[in-house]
Amino acid sequence: MQRLFLEYEDSTFSYLRGGNGKEILLCLHGFGEDAATFSFLEKHLGDRFTIYAPDLPWHGQTQWQKTLTFPTKGMMKLIEQMTRDSASKKIHLLCYSMGGRVGLSLLERIPQQIEKAVLLAPDGLKVNFWYWLATQTWLGNGLFRYTMKHPQWFAWLVDVMKRFGWINISVAKFVHAYIDNKQMRDDLYHIWTTMRKFRPQLQQVKQNIIQHQIPVHLIFGEFDRVILPVNGYKFQRGTEKLVSVDVLKSGHQLLREKHADAIVQALLP
């Protein structure tokens, strides 16, 4: 895949483009990853699609110089710039984890441009209280900023919640992986805060799926303790003819070569 760059206000976005197909496949990566995680799909899908995979703010080789806000309109502008030379105006979405929340926001904002969406362990199907508090409220974001600089109290709280069974061991380990490392704490604060405008209204998303007849394929990992398959089944209610759900023998890491067949089958008719 070829690495390209484009300017967005004061920042520089990095993205990968690959394949030579007539249709557009927009790939949006997960938290802490980058566009290169989709590279293995070029050999499987490059004849059908031209693949566009941006590095989101604070990821990969994107140089993010703006304040801690990336608006949904900015994402739409980025898509327009990346795909301006394409004859196709319709987009297939392939989104993973955090990228799934961005993809759901696109289904809310520009459903007329979406041909199909495949969402892998997508964030955004359930409102996480801690994420909402940390990113959508002034007081919560201040507490979030303080905690990322002084994490000891929150580490203690997580351990207490684990001891009483209020959160499972996998979630506790996931939280500790971030708060025990200063660089990861800084990244978490920057990314969560910058991407906070992507908060899809699920009822509107479902209405758009029905109105525009957009096939949506949700894929989850059976052993994922971060993004649970049950959220997909809840979202599917009332849209069963258009929204399908698959559960693979996997954890959260679905964007891997071993799952290529399932991803390809979900994307193609």
| Domain spans in the chain, listed from the N-terminal domain onward | 2-124+200-267, 129-194
Q: What is the mean pLDDT of residues 33-43?
A: 96
Total-model pTM: 0.90
Residue 91 has pLDDT above 90, yes or no: yes
Q: What percent of the chain has pLDDT over 70?
A: 100
pLDDT grade for 86, boundaries at 50, 70 and 90: confident
Q: Per-residue pLDDT averaged across 156-166, rounded?
A: 88
221 — pLDDT class (breaks 50, 70, 90): very high
Confidence grade of residue 253 (pLDDT, cut at 50, 70, 90) = very high
* Architecture of the structural domain at 2-124+200-267: 3-Layer(aba) Sandwich (3.40)
Instruction: Give which of 41, 188, 31 is closest to 101, Cα–Cα.
Output: 31
Q: Is the pLDDT of residue 259 over 90?
A: yes
Q: Which of 15, 103, 4, 82 is nearest to 53 (CA)?
A: 15
Q: Which residue has the tokens 């978490």?
A: 188
Q: Which two tokens stand for residue 241?
A: 């003819």
Residue type, 101: R
Nearest to 114 by CA among 23, 176, 246: 23
C-alpha separations of 142 from 137, 139, 147 in Å: 9, 5, 9
Q: Which of 26-35, 41-50, 179-188 has the lowest mean pLDDT?
A: 179-188
pLDDT at 129 (0 to 100): 76
Closest of 127, 108, 12 to residue 59, by C-alpha: 12
**pLDDT reported for residue 16:** 97
Mean of pLDDT over the chain: 92
Residues contacting residue 60 through CB under 8 Å, at least 6 positions apart: 14, 34, 35, 36
Q: Are 167 and 143 in contact (CB under 8 A)?
A: no
**Residue range 193-212, pLDDT digits in tens:** 999 999 999 999 999 999 99
56-84 pLDDT, tens digit each: 999 999 999 877 889 999 999 999 999 99
